[in-house]
Amino acid sequence: MNTPLAERIRPKTLEGYLSQEHLVGPKGSLTSQLQSGILPSLILWGPPGTGKTTLATIIAKESERPFYTLSAVDSGVAAVREVINKAKKSDGLFTTKNPILFIDEIHRFSKSQQDSLLGAVEKGWVTLIGATTENPSFEVIPALLSRCQVYILKAFSKEDLNELLQIAITKDEKLSTLKIALKETEALIRLSGGDARKLLNMLELVVLSENKETVLITNELVMQKVQKNTVLYDKTGEMHYDIVSAFIKSIRGSDPNATVYWLARMIEGGEDVKFIARRMLILAAEDIGNANPTALVLANNTFQAVNTIGYPESRIILSQCALYLATSQKSNASYEAINKAQQAVRQTGDLSVPLSIRNAPTKLMKELGYGKNYQYAHNYDGNFVPHEFLPEEISGTTFYRPGNNPKEQSISTYLKKLWKDKYDF
């Protein structure tokens, strides 16, 4: 059996587990739970190839629990129920010893599939460990997410990946019999996109394709052997982030032709429609904002629509939205405003709310001056009356400066008319 290198050197214990010190190091958030034997259901969220499956396997071994595994790619509701029934019949029925059910790529589970897990998790028949590369807030139903702790796995550093390469050539049962020298590793690391599994598989490809007992790993050799086998668009690698970046910058730069080209690259590469729509939703607020408020509405409707329709038809919806955003007036004024306001909060701390705009639901609060001298805007001409709403310490501070576009210039004119000399833009 030709077992891949990544599987052959998969660590079996926490001592051999690389990186993720914040989770399983001496002071890691999972370490104390493993030591106590009380383990909650959890979601492991992180980039591909960062050890989610390995960690789940080690957790099961360290806690001495029965271990069941499913892949969301090829498991339906019936398979979930079958495994749960097996788990219920196993010996570990107590809280600290109930079986572990590991579901890889749990974000691919439909709502009904995730619903089928709720009872088993709630009643403690299983401890669920789900692995996902996608944000659980978007991909895991709230009822299930509320029953799980979310632990974030960090991407491997360059030092981690180099250490992993050293482990591979010195400890693997096959590669350790050869004379392998790692003269240059930059190409391996760059093409892997930080994915440890891909890194190891590429190393093995290069070594075996040389068919020699002595192999000198160089960037040139790696590019020669690997590049032609690397897909044009990799949803989990460096190319993924480069193309998404090009797509966003093209929209921000108001270039519809480049926008639709990079969109096509993502679609042809099989990128998740929700990922594309989510990025456009963020951009609509960050880069267009009040220059064209309808952009956010359209982006949100696009996100909802592609969730319903999926490929191939959703490509048309994505194209319409992307081109609308690319050809819209641009403003990052809202983005800059919240950045400045958050910075002010961090610098000034918890400033007191002015008494005049505090809520006064009780007699005592009214006697203390809560709400005193507050002027109800709708009682005045134009539904406006000047009042200071900021804390005294930062009174008069300007956070929002309307952008230089027709819509926000009309906002600027309106604010100046209301506030006279208060705004200095």
Q: Predicted confidence band at 341 (pLDDT cuts at 50, 70, 90)?
A: very high
User: Tokens standing for 298?
Assistant: 């359209």
Domains by residue range for the chain, with CATH? 20-152 (3.40.50.300), 158-229 (1.10.8), 238-326 (1.20.272.10), 335-419 (1.10.3710.10)
Can you tell me the mean pLDDT for 217-246?
Answer: 72
- Does the pLDDT of residue 239 top 70, yes or no? no
What whole-number distance in Å separates Cα of residue 322 and Cα of residue 302? 10
pLDDT of the residue at 93 = 44
Q: Which residues pair with 71 in a beta bridge?
A: 104
Q: Which residues pair with 215 in a beta bridge?
A: 180
What pLDDT, in 10s, does the model give residues 269-293? 888 898 999 999 999 999 999 999 9
Sign for the pseudo-dihedral over CA of 139, 62, 94, 69: positive
Can you tell me the mean pLDDT for 35-46?
Answer: 88
User: Tokens standing for 191?
Assistant: 């093409």
What pLDDT, in 10s, does the model give residues 184-197? 999 998 888 788 98
Percent of the chain with pLDDT over 90: 39
pLDDT of the residue at 374 = 87
pLDDT of the residue at 335 = 93
What whole-number distance in Å separates Cα of residue 240 and Cα of residue 276? 11
pLDDT of the residue at 326 = 95
- Does the pLDDT of residue 264 top 70, yes or no? yes
pLDDT of the residue at 168 = 94
pLDDT of the residue at 240 = 67
- Does the pLDDT of residue 230 top 70, yes or no? no
pLDDT of the residue at 232 = 46
Specify the higher pLDDT residue, 89 or 391.
Answer: 391
What whole-number distance in Å separates Cα of residue 421 and Cα of residue 356? 22
> Looking at this protein, which amino acid is placed at residue 130?
G
- Quickly count: other Cβ atoms within 10 Å of residue 316's Cβ: 11
Instruction: Using the CB atoms, write b or e for 77-113: b if 16+ within 10 Å.
Output: eeebeebbeebeeeebeeeebbbbbbbbbbbbbeeeb
- Does the pLDDT of residue 170 top 90, yes or no? yes
Least confident among 73-77, 140-144, 377-381:
73-77
Can you tell me the mean pLDDT for 128-148?
Answer: 90
What's the Cα-to-Cα distance from 66 to each of 1, 18, 259, rounded to whole Å?
26, 24, 50
What pLDDT, in 10s, does the model give residues 59-96? 998 888 888 988 876 777 788 888 888 877 765 444 44
Specify the higher pLDDT residue, 348 or 260.
Answer: 260
pLDDT of the residue at 337 = 93
Specify the higher pLDDT residue, 247 or 239.
Answer: 247
Can you tell me the mean pLDDT for 48-57?
Answer: 92
Specify the higher pLDDT residue, 328 or 349.
Answer: 328
- Does the pLDDT of residue 389 top 50, yes or no? yes
Do the Cβ atoms of 399 and 392 come closer than 8 Å?
A: no
Can you tell me the mean pLDDT for 156-161?
Answer: 91
What pLDDT, in 10s, does the model give residues 99-133? 899 999 898 888 888 888 998 898 888 999 999 98
What whole-number distance in Å separates Cα of residue 186 and Cα of residue 191? 9
